[in-house]
Amino acid sequence: MWHSLDKKEVLEEFETSENGLSNKEVSLRLKKYGRNELKQIRTINPFAIFFEQFKSVFIIILLVAALFSLFIKHYVDFSVISIIVLLNSFIGFSQQYKAEKTISELKEMLVPKVRVIRDSIVREILSTELVPGDIIIVSEGDRITADCRILHINELQTNEAALTGESFPQDKASEKIPLEAELADRENMIYMGTLVVRGNAKAVVVATNMHTEFGKIASLVQHIKTKKTPLEEKLDYFSKKIAIIIVALAIITTIIGVARGENFFQMTLAGISLAISVIPEGLPAVLAITLAFAIQSMKKHNALIRKLPAAETLGRVTVICTDKTGTLTEEEMNVISVYSNRKKFKIISNSFFLNEKRINPRNYNEIIKLLRIGIMCNNARVESTNNEIKVYGDPTEKALAIASLKLGLVKKEETEKEIRVKEYSFSSKRKMMSIIRKKNNTFTSYVKGAPDTIISNCTKELVDGKIIPLNKKGKEELISVYENMASQALRVLAFAFKPVEKNFNQKTTETGLIFVGFQGMLDTPRKEVKYAIEQCKTAGIKVKMITGDSMLTAKAIAKMISLNTEGIEGYELEKLSDEDFDLVVKQKTIFARIMPELKLKIIKSLKKQQEIVAVTGDGVNDILALKEANIGVAMGIRGTDVARDVSDIILLDDNFSTIVAAIRKGRHVYDNMKKSIKSHLAANADELFVVLFALLFYLPLPMLPLPILWMNLITDSLPSLSLTVEKEEKDIMKRKPINHQESIIKDVWKFVLFAGILSFIITIILFLAYYKADIDKARTIVITGAVFCEMFIVISCRSEKNIWKIGFFSNKFLFLSVVFAILLQLAAIYTPLALVFGFKALSLVELGIIAASSSLILIFFESAKALRFKT
């Protein structure tokens, strides 16, 4: 409603004046309205994060086993199980809490400052201290931190892309406008999260925190449920299946034993032994650490992972839906084409080309004249400090100033030659701007603006250094040139000049002009994006551009980065049926003039088609899509706080190529997690077969609960963890994305079965050979043999290729962890720990037999690999 009131009414409504509020009144309003910050969508709750770790089915089963051990007064068993459970939980907690803390710290660093008038004095405060009724001053480069009604204005333009998706600056005004005006048409309002790109203004704050337009949209996020990532879904499903098997086996074991006349508690203990032998209790910790390593690695490459499972989900991404401005492009306008003297010139880097041949532009007076008008009719500021030139101002005027620098024309030097007398600012109605300058007693009007407007006001043209008449046919030819440049998605401005009399007025300075030429600007693509797109193609990942810009602009960028140019505009999409909509979304690459609701619908359509979708976004208008996507990717530099809060990943450099690098790392994480899981399951299969065999054939248990937990602790910790730092496979970005329905344990069962059977045969033969003579020694041999077998399994899990080809010692962490695990087992046998676990000392001959027999596993699998990859 504030846009429909005049300035006086707004000030009266808020009981304020242009001299600002008093400090006492500010304190009262802070209590009433609260701090000017958006509510945390998610808060860091250490207790909630910690207890989240106990939701694992594996951990729950272990806790039940611990309680039973306590009930039957097996205190050592209870203690060891409890320690392992707590260890796993603390590892998961520390990694998740660390990630959340990093995001919180990043948010605190991004609180901007604002200039405010209080008690008639201009002061700078934190934006969080603003209250409704405050009078603020904004100028070029400022980020607006509250919704405000403009009081006074001086050529103000704002970039509202974060709110509306429109990338070009919006002209602002101070007069009241009709109540029914849409958000984008409220020219007398400036909004939280938008950016001042030109001019300055004084405004009164009308809304803060969640009452702003940003806040209203942010509140919608509260109603969107956070969905589980594919990894979480697969692991949940896997855990439930294993849990059912574990519980069933434990119950069956107890029932069979009791029916056989065995003691109930002893058979329940046997069932627990079986359960513990199957549970991969170290797996949650290993997966958490794997993802934590990935997070640290990705952060070094400018990708901040907010949620652990997102690191793996990246490896499954099949579609990247990216915005254009700032992600694929530099978010900086550049003049790349000029038309002057009836010739079209290209500008590539700092070089000028005519008909594909490099030229010296200083030899072309018309180019000099054209680019000079671009800085004579320009409000950008060019500063030189420490031999470094910086340009400030409106993106378009910055581009013009930079283009002139390529000719050696420095704005300050040129404008000092001709004194600025008068400016007629650009308006959306006139679509042009003029500045009158004076040199000696000569006045010249320099004009720039929309090509059709400038051409219609021109009566002459500068050609070959001569001023000639411009007739209707000549104007039509110029319009044709302009349309041709525009079809290449360039933002085209026309430039003209005119000598004027001392008693000039706006009409005389902007009519009867002499046409000089066009300058075509483009927000150029980032250099590394083209290669990143090629990587996506090779990796089978589809890239779709979703932008609020025009189709012409989007297609031009797409061509430059080798992206398919088949596209559709928003208004066309809205007309389609649901079935046709899904088909078009699948087939098209570019989606232009897209509003937030339509972007969300596109993401839902892709997910419905079983795609794993990563979506980039920076503004409030992107929040719904970021939340809906499998992977929401927010911008760290130009992104809004609320967009970062709902994302899974933050790009610290806002660069598309960083997403591709993160996907590469995600695939690497997926590979290494699969290796760890394969190692865990293969080892536990051996334990399952051994315990089941003993139960079925009325043999003493070869493995008791406590030694099993000890074995799992030393084999499932460092050795398994060492697989997480295995180097990536060379073909990692040449494979197609992993099918969304594919379980992370797919294609490992054959290995698990063979490894489990081989280990079982080795350990059960050793047990049968010794158990009648000495049951305790036999159990020691079985546990030690299982440890050796598992170490050889870990080594074989390093790669699908032969370990000699990847380098046996290339993973030093793995080599050392294997040696350390074996030393720990030997320590448990030959130290007082043997009393805790019931171990007996083994001779060197017995150790030699164990080592030799267990090495058969490595020999078998590496031989199989050599035969499979033999060329």
Catalytic amino acids?
323
Residue closest to 726 by CA, chosen among 803, 780, 661: 803
Supply φ then ψ for residue 224, to 5 degrees.
Answer: -100, 120
H helices present in 170-227, as ranges: 213-221
Residue closest to 190 by CA, chosen among 204, 175, 176: 204
Within 10 A of 550 (CB to CB), how many other CB atoms are there?
15
What's the residue count for the chain? 871
Rounded to whole angstroms, the Cα distance separating 650 from 627 reads 13
Query: What Cα–Cα distance (Å) separates residue 627 from each residue in 101, 258, 643?
Result: 20, 54, 9
Residue bearing tokens 């001709």: 418
Contact 133, 185 (CB under 8 A): no
H helices present in 797-811, as ranges: 803-806
Supply φ then ψ for residue 689, to 5 degrees.
Answer: -60, -40
Residue closest to 643 by CA, chosen among 667, 661, 622: 622
Rounded to whole angstroms, the Cα distance separating 390 from 516 reads 27
Helix axes 844-854, 856-868, angle to 10 degrees: 20
CB pairs under 8 A, 24+ apart, for 842-851? 842/777, 842/780, 842/781, 842/784, 846/781, 847/784, 849/766, 850/766, 850/781, 850/784, 850/785, 850/788, 851/788
Contact 134, 204 (CB under 8 A): yes
Beta strands at 195-207 and 147-159: parallel, antiparallel or unpaired: antiparallel
Helix, strand and coil in the chain, % to nearest 5: 50, 20, 30
Position 328, amino acid: L
Please return the burial class of 49, using the count of CB atoms within 10 Å of its CB with bins 0-12, 13-18 and 19+.
middle
Position 382, amino acid: V
Query: What Cα–Cα distance (Å) separates residue 497 from each residue in 248, 369, 371, 429, 832?
Result: 89, 10, 12, 20, 97
Supply φ then ψ for residue 479, to 5 degrees.
Answer: -60, -40
Contact 668, 315 (CB under 8 A): yes
Rounded to whole angstroms, the Cα distance separating 384 from 401 reads 13
Rounded to whole angstroms, the Cα distance separating 833 from 706 reads 12
DSSP state of 762: H
Beta strands at 613-617 and 631-635: parallel, antiparallel or unpaired: parallel
Tokens of 607: 């997910």
SS (H, E, C) 323-355: CCCCCCEEEEEEEEEEEECCEEEEEECCEEEEC
Beta strands at 381-385 and 343-348: parallel, antiparallel or unpaired: unpaired
Rounded to whole angstroms, the Cα distance separating 498 from 182 reads 39
Supply φ then ψ for residue 770, to 5 degrees.
Answer: -120, -20
